[in-house]
Amino acid sequence: MTTPSTPNAESAAFRTALEVIRGVEPRIADAIGAELHDQRESLKLIASENYASPAVLLAMGNWFSDKYAEGTIGHRFYAGCRNVDTVEALAAEHARELFGARHAYVQPHSGIDANLVAFWSVLAARVERPALERAAARQVNDLDEADWEALRKELGNQRMLGMSLDAGGHLTHGFRPNISGKMFHQRSYGTDAETGLLDYDALRATAREFRPLIIIAGYSAYPRLINFRVMREIADEVGATLMVDMAHFAGLVAGKVFTGDHDPVPHAQIVTTTTHKSLRGPRGGMVLCDDSLAEQVDRGCPMVLGGPLPHVMAAKAVALAEARQPTFADYAQRIVDNARALAEGLQRRGARLVTGGTDNHLVLLDVSGYGLTGRQAEAALLDAGIVTNRNAIPRDPNGAWYTSGIRLGTPALTTRGLDPAGLDEVAELIDTVLSQTSPGTTKSGKPSKASYAVADGVAKRVAERAADLLAGHPLYPEVDLG
């Protein structure tokens, strides 16, 4: 058994790192240690969070952080990038092999960066390149200022079709608070009012009428499968490029839980993802594409990105290598099994779920049946040590801030080793808290959408039960900070 006096390699590495940090700014070392403690003690049900392995975490803390490496493999704008080329090539190789993609670009710093690279790659291929070809046909080496002005207007006047926010879409899919909504004229497709499921016939009709340049598939809060074969058929019918943002479910694609029509890579011209979430890597982004867009995608820097983060690319390579191991496929399947167990456990206790269940890693719980808003439910659960996030539901009467739902995800607890029986117990804890929480009132006596009250002793009892459950599934058991 490992003891503080005889640390294993992981413990020694993290202890030493914290000692070095403490020598410069002890408050940062304290915050790092406190974060590990907090994560160990809480039931993490944030669908977009996970726990990276010690190898992935350690790969980010090294001398690659000191390197500038604008450009691509073998074509850098800085000298001395031989080792960065090795790291980026390995990460891209693992990504291609893992997902069966023709091309992989691993430089994006985040999901939104990956999406921006994808948007501008499509614009460059579909709008800018034809303009340059027309100029070449006129035997003009480059566009004159009038041509460029016309091109800028054309680039800024393209259309995008994406899933609506209340149906489970994402801000980066063309919504005005995000830069994508300022780049594109966006229209949304939604879900059936009765079932909550994607309505492909309605989507097809909207695409025919709207004629977008890009159709985006993918979600952050839709608990069902998407048929990407049908999505590609719709895109081809209207001359659109099909882009899929699989940030949330990339791990389920990597683990071969989503195959055939439900695997986006064979169907979409371009696919974006984060490398954390269900993929269980470092925080970052990635773009996969077919040959038609590879040249444009590789120009992500300087088109959209600044210098890549070589230390994070190193961690991506490690995480992708981990995901190619047979154990990852088992992990991915357990994510879905656990999500179904959580959904069934909530439903048995009378909870209402959007779409009536789940096929993936997340569950969307309508908390209006408890008389609460999402904000109240989120806060009450946090008091009991259960970390979730409020989320809008289709046609949400409380809007995107207060919401009527909470989103629950199973990747993190699955990493900790919980099984379906454990997720059923989690469902019991959630229902206990929410059924014992009541909404507060404003100063004027009106019902409040924010304040709440949990019955005396409930939060403490649930937190103790959660701690007992987690004690059998320690987080980072190989890391002992002493």
Question: 445-468, pLDDT tens digit by residue?
Answer: 888 999 999 999 999 999 999 999
Instruction: Give me the residue spans of the domains in the chain.
Output: 64-323, 333-471
Which residue among the candidates 187, 204, 283, 349 is catalytic per the annotation? 283
Which residue among the candidates 10, 88, 245, 431 is catalytic per the annotation? 245
CB 404 within 8 A of CB 366: yes
Q: Work out whether the CA dihedral 71, 74, 75, 79 comes out positive or negative.
A: positive
Q: Work out whether the CA dihedral 329, 261, 344, 38 comes out positive or negative.
A: positive
Which residue among the candidates 15, 68, 199, 233 is catalytic per the annotation? 68
Task: Give catalytic status of residue 331 as yes or no.
Answer: no
Q: For the domain bounded by 64-323, which CATH number is listed?
A: 3.40.640.10
Task: Give catalytic status of residue 283 as yes or no.
Answer: yes
Task: Give catalytic status of residue 277 as yes or no.
Answer: yes
- Percent with pLDDT over 90 in the chain: 85
Strand runs (DSSP E) across 18-62, as ranges? 43-44
Which residue among the candidates 241, 274, 355, 414 is catalytic per the annotation? 274
Which residue among the candidates 67, 232, 277, 407 is catalytic per the annotation? 277
Task: Give catalytic status of residue 153 as yes or no.
Answer: no
Q: Could you tell me the strand order of the sheet in which 389-391 lies?
A: 352-353, 362-366, 405-409, 389-391
Residue 140: per-residue pLDDT: 61
Scanning the structure block, which residue is given the tokens 């004629």? 211
Do strands 405-409 and 389-391 pair parallel, antiparallel, or not at all (unpaired)? antiparallel
pLDDT confidence of 38, banded at 50, 70, 90? very high
pTM of the full structure: 0.94
Task: Identify the CATH assignment for 333-471 out of 3.90.1150.10, 3.40.50.10800, 3.40.50.300, 2.60.120.560.
Answer: 3.90.1150.10
Helices (H), 171-256: 179-183, 200-210, 228-238, 250-254
Which residue among the candidates 22, 41, 49, 70 is catalytic per the annotation? 70
Largest CA distance in the chain: 80
Intrachain domains 64-323 and 333-471 with the same fold: no
Do strands 214-218 and 159-163 pair parallel, antiparallel, or not at all (unpaired)? parallel
Tens of pLDDT, residue by residue over 277-333, are 999 999 999 999 999 999 999 999 999 999 999 999 999 999 999 999 999 999 999
Task: Give catalytic status of residue 334 as yes or no.
Answer: no
CB 364 within 8 A of CB 346: no
Determine the average pLDDT of the residues in 400-416.
97
Tens of pLDDT, residue by residue over 234-278, are 999 999 999 999 999 999 999 999 999 999 999 999 999 999 999
Task: Give catalytic status of residue 208 as yes or no.
Answer: no
